[in-house]
Amino acid sequence: MLVKITLLSALTCAIALTGTPAHAANHPGIIPAPLKMKETGGAFTLDAQTRILFQSGNNDAKKTAEFLATALRPATGYALPVAEETSPADRAHAIALRIEGDASDLKAESYRLDANVDNVMLTAPAAPGLFYGCQTLRQLLPAAIFSATKVEGQTWTVPGVSIEDAPRFAWRGMLLDVARHFMPKEFVLKFIDTIAIQKMNRLHLHLTDDQGWRIEIKKYPKLTEVGAWRAQTLVGRSGKKPEQYDGKRHGGFYTQDDIREMVAYAAERHVTLMPEVEMPGHAQAAIAAYPELGNLDTPLPVKTEWGVNPNIFNAEESTILFLQDVLTEVLDLFPSHYIHIGGDEAVKNQWKASKAVQVRIAALGLHDEEEMQRYFVSRMNDFLTAKGRSLVGWDEILDGGLGQGPTVMAWRGMDKAVEAVHGGKDVVMAPTEFTYLDYYQGPKDKEPLSIGGDVRLDKVYSFEPLPKALDDAGQKRILGAQGQLWAEYIPTPEHAEYMAFPRACALAEVVWSAKDKRDYKDFLERLPQHLARLDKLGVRYRPLTPE
Ligand code: ACM
């Protein structure tokens, strides 16, 4: 025993003395870490003669080859023609893409990449996997490949490798809160690009809240004419007295054409855009546009402060039908199977005080306001189910005893996920403790004002999405996880990138890489290479300063 310990200490010492283990120092800094990677020696060189081949007659392979060529052309300046492979002999000095094998479940996102002096072979059972193979290939090239303009004097080599890779979880997401601060379409497209490079596949768009309604609804134009604009915004933290405002009108919204463009752009990158239309709480912007949706006799403005808010939708049948009309237009725009209806932080004071809501509760044979919310959500659930979609809600939808069917986004803690699974529901993990990327990521006195909390890079990396309290069958109900970029204190795209990266890089590895491949020290060794890529993409991440 003593001998073993001594040997181990000697080894550790040797590693410490020589720096990092040899493999770590040189290996390509792929993020997220692949399942299996062998370095096989030699290198493939991409040059002006390289062609990108797709398997004969396979349209998915062709589309992916075109994506890859488009990604590699700007920095290299090469033509990189995309051509159909007519015989294996064509593969000499080419990058060849093929779709073959078992595409069931998560295998659809798996791929194999072999690079050697002669060629690069990318094989996957389906288009998503082939796309992820292309993302890995981009990361195997020098970081300058991510440059938007031609880079002179660069040799474009790919180290000889054999990679087999597949994701751990199906749901690998980020939430962008465009309601609190409107983010231009161009930024959303860039954000999609950036998360796709990290093999994330969901972007949850939080489109409506008290402070803004961000999606054009043709049937109800005032939602954006009125609801997309607030008179001004609170300066500094909520609750600080006396309150100060910036005096600047803020707002904006996506037209239906904008949404179609974002959805299509995301789909080309195998990212699903999931819309969230909040109800019954976080509704003040909609009530400002259509006061009949609220509980008060007095009109309300679009809210100019942050925080949990008592102004929620009323419980009238006409309000439920209004929201179903809204969802009808939303479903036409977003092909996502999952549709998020919010459900969080619906303060019930106005429902308690409202004669109309109390009459409705009694007429429906319900006991209280929690059951009223359950009824509200179940009406949306029935509506979405009838249209072949699935409802997602924040974990408050568990309150009041909602039945099986909806998917729960667990934000208030791991125990909410366990409760949801025990109630027969699928779960997306979004706990504040690990995934709230609006929280501070360093010492509060050195960071820009944020909503609070403390979720540093290592904390995100340490996140284990599968609650220990669940058995194997229960853990299968955990679809994956996502990072939350709530934007009360994130006024600009630049600030959003600062908050998102590199923490979203850590999260990408949490949701993609095998549990036994997760090693924070190794991640930190690879991360600078990845940040060099983000530099080329113009992503304004938070630098890795000592804390
Ligand atoms: C939430 O943070 N209210 C979901």
Give the DSSP letter of residue 542.
P
pLDDT at 399: 85
pLDDT at 34: 97
Q: How many domains does the chain have?
A: 2
489 and 466 in a single domain? The answer is: yes
Least confident of 100-109, 175-184, 368-377: 100-109
Q: 411 CA to middle of ligand 1, Å?
A: 7
476 and 509 in a single domain? The answer is: yes
388 and 530 in a single domain? The answer is: yes
Q: Which residue of the set 177, 209, 276, 278 is catalytic?
A: 209
161 and 177 in a single domain? The answer is: no
Q: 543 lies in a domain?
A: no
Which atom number of ligand 1 is nearest to the Cα of residue 411? Answer: 4
Q: Which residue of the set 27, 206, 250, 282 is catalytic?
A: 282
Which atom number of ligand 1 is nearest to the Cα of residue 342? Answer: 4
Are the C-beta atoms of residues 245 and 310 closer than 8 Å to each other?
A: no
87 and 216 in a single domain? The answer is: no
Q: 356 lies in a domain?
A: yes
The pLDDT confidence band at residue 400, using thresholds 50, 70 and 90, is: confident
> Catalytic annotation on 282?
yes
> Catalytic annotation on 66?
no
Calculated CA dihedral for residues 108, 69, 174, 187, nearest 10 degrees? -160
* Cα–Cα distance, 42 to 24 (Å, whole number): 18
Q: Which amino acid is at 364?
A: L
356 and 475 in a single domain? The answer is: yes
Which atom number of ligand 1 is nearest to the Cα of residue 344? Answer: 3
Q: 83 lies in a domain?
A: yes
Q: Of the residues 116, 138, 165, which one is the last residue of a structural domain?
A: 165
Q: Of the residues 165, 191, 207, which one is the last residue of a structural domain?
A: 165
- Over residues 37-88, the pLDDT tens digits come to 999 999 999 999 999 999 999 999 999 999 999 999 999 999 999 999 999 9
254 and 363 in a single domain? The answer is: yes
442 and 335 in a single domain? The answer is: yes
109: containing domain: 40-165
Protein residue whose Cα sits closest to atom 3 of ligand 1: 344
Q: How far is the CA of 371 from the CAs of 98, 282, 380, 399, 455, in angstroms?
A: 53, 19, 14, 8, 34
Protein residue whose Cα sits closest to atom 2 of ligand 1: 411
CATH number of the domain residue 343 falls in: 3.20.20.80
Q: 33 lies in a domain?
A: no
* Cα–Cα distance, 426 to 138 (Å, whole number): 34
- Our answer on whether the CB atom of 344 is closer than 6 Å to any ligand 1 atom is yes
CATH number of the domain residue 148 falls in: 3.30.379.10
The pLDDT confidence band at residue 510, using thresholds 50, 70 and 90, is: very high
Q: 17 lies in a domain?
A: no
Q: 48 CA to middle of ligand 1, Å?
A: 51
212 and 156 in a single domain? The answer is: no
- Our answer on whether the CB atom of 345 is closer than 6 Å to any ligand 1 atom is yes
75 and 105 in a single domain? The answer is: yes
Q: 19 lies in a domain?
A: no
Q: 14 lies in a domain?
A: no
User: Ligand 1 test: best mutation among 278, 308, 345, 396, most atoms within 8 Å of CB?
Assistant: 345
Residues whose CB is less than 8 angstroms from the CB of residue 388 and which lie 6 or more positions away in sequence, other chains included:
337
pLDDT at 18: 35
pLDDT at 546: 63
| In the predicted structure, residue 3 carries a pLDDT above the cut 70 | no
Q: Of the residues 106, 132, 165, which one is the last residue of a structural domain?
A: 165
Q: 241 CA to middle of ligand 1, Å?
A: 24
| In the predicted structure, residue 16 carries a pLDDT above the cut 80 | no
Which atom number of ligand 1 is nearest to the Cα of residue 345? Answer: 3
Q: 293 CA to middle of ligand 1, Å?
A: 22
Protein residue whose Cα sits closest to atom 1 of ligand 1: 344
141 and 200 in a single domain? The answer is: no
What is the maximal distance between C-alpha atoms in the chain? Answer: 81
| In the predicted structure, residue 6 carries a pLDDT above the cut 70 | no
Q: How far is the CA of 322 from the CAs of 21, 351, 448, 546, in angstroms?
A: 61, 18, 39, 52
289 and 259 in a single domain? The answer is: yes
